[in-house]
Structure 1
Amino acid sequence: MSNPTSAQRLLALLEEQQQDAARMLEILQAEFNALKGNDLQAFEQVMDIKLKHLNDLEQKERSSLPALEKIIGSPCNRQQLEAFIVNRRDAQLLAGWQSLHTTLKQCHEQNLLNQRVLAASHAQVQQALNLLRGEDPQAPPSVTYQDSGKPDQRHAPGQSIAIA
C-alpha cells in the first residue's frame, strides 16, 4: 500500500461491505419475525429479498476481488486481509474491519437462530401430521411386507384421527 489512495480504496470497500452486511442482518431479522409469527406470506417475501441480496453479494465479491488483490499486492483471503489491515496500523481501517467482523458475526448468530426456529416449526408440523395419521412418533417403525416379499410403503396400522 505505497500510496495513500489505496488505504482510502480499501476503507471504501470495507464500508461498502459493512453496509451490505448490515442490510443482510436486517433481512435475517425480518425473516425471524416472519418465522416467529408464522407469517408465510411475509416469509416468502423476505426469502425473495434474501436470495436477491445474496446474489448481489456474490456479484460484488467477484467484481471487488481484483481491486482488493491489487491493494494488498497478492491473492486475497480473509486471513491475509486481516493481517494486512493489522500490520498497516491504520486506526480507521482497523475500526472498519472490526465493525464488519462484528456485523458478520451477528448475521451468523441470527441465521442460526432462524434455523432453530425453522427446525422447531418443522418438528411441530411433523408431530401434527403424525397425530392426524394415527402414528405414534415414539414407536419404532413397523415394516410390513407385500406378497412378493418387498417392503410395504403404506403407513403402519393405527387409527387416523380422520377415520376416528
Structure 2
Amino acid sequence: MIKRIYIDTSVFGGYFDSEFELQTKPFFETILTQGTIILISEIIELEIYKAPEHIVALFESLPEQLIERVELTDEARQLAETYITEKVVGRTSMADCQHIALATISKADVLVSWNFKHIVNLERIRGYNSINFREGYQMTEIRTPNEIFRNEDNN
C-alpha cells in the first residue's frame, strides 16, 4: 500500500484540466479517504502560489495532517544538479530535477506527475534512476495519477 506520495504541481493543475481531470479527481479522493501522506516541498509551494486561484484553493484544502513538508537541502540540490550535468534533462528543467531529488531523498513511495516531457518519461526515468543507483539512493517510482490506486480499488 502506498503511504507517502510526492505530488508535483502538474497534478494539482490536472484536477481542473479536461484532459486529466477524470483520472486526477479520483486520485485526490483516494488520497483523502486512505489518509495517504502527501510530501510537499517549498518548490511545489512556489509553483502553486503562481498558479490560478482555483489551483491554490485545491492545494490549501488538503488536510494539514496529510502533509509532510520536505526541505530542499544541499543534498537534494546536489542530486538535482547531477541529473542536469549527466544530461538526463537540460538546465531549464532544474525544478523538475529538484522534485525528483526530493522524492528520492525523502524515500517517497512514488512521485506522481502529469509532466510527460521531463518526468514521466521512460528514458528520463531510467536516467534519474541510474544516477540514484550509482549515488547510493533508492530507485524512485515515477507514475501518473491513474497508475497509483486503480489496482487497490479493484480488489
TM superposition score normalised by structure 1: 0.24
Question: Going by fraction, where is strand more abundant, 1 or 2?
Answer: 2
Larger Rg computed on CA atoms: 1
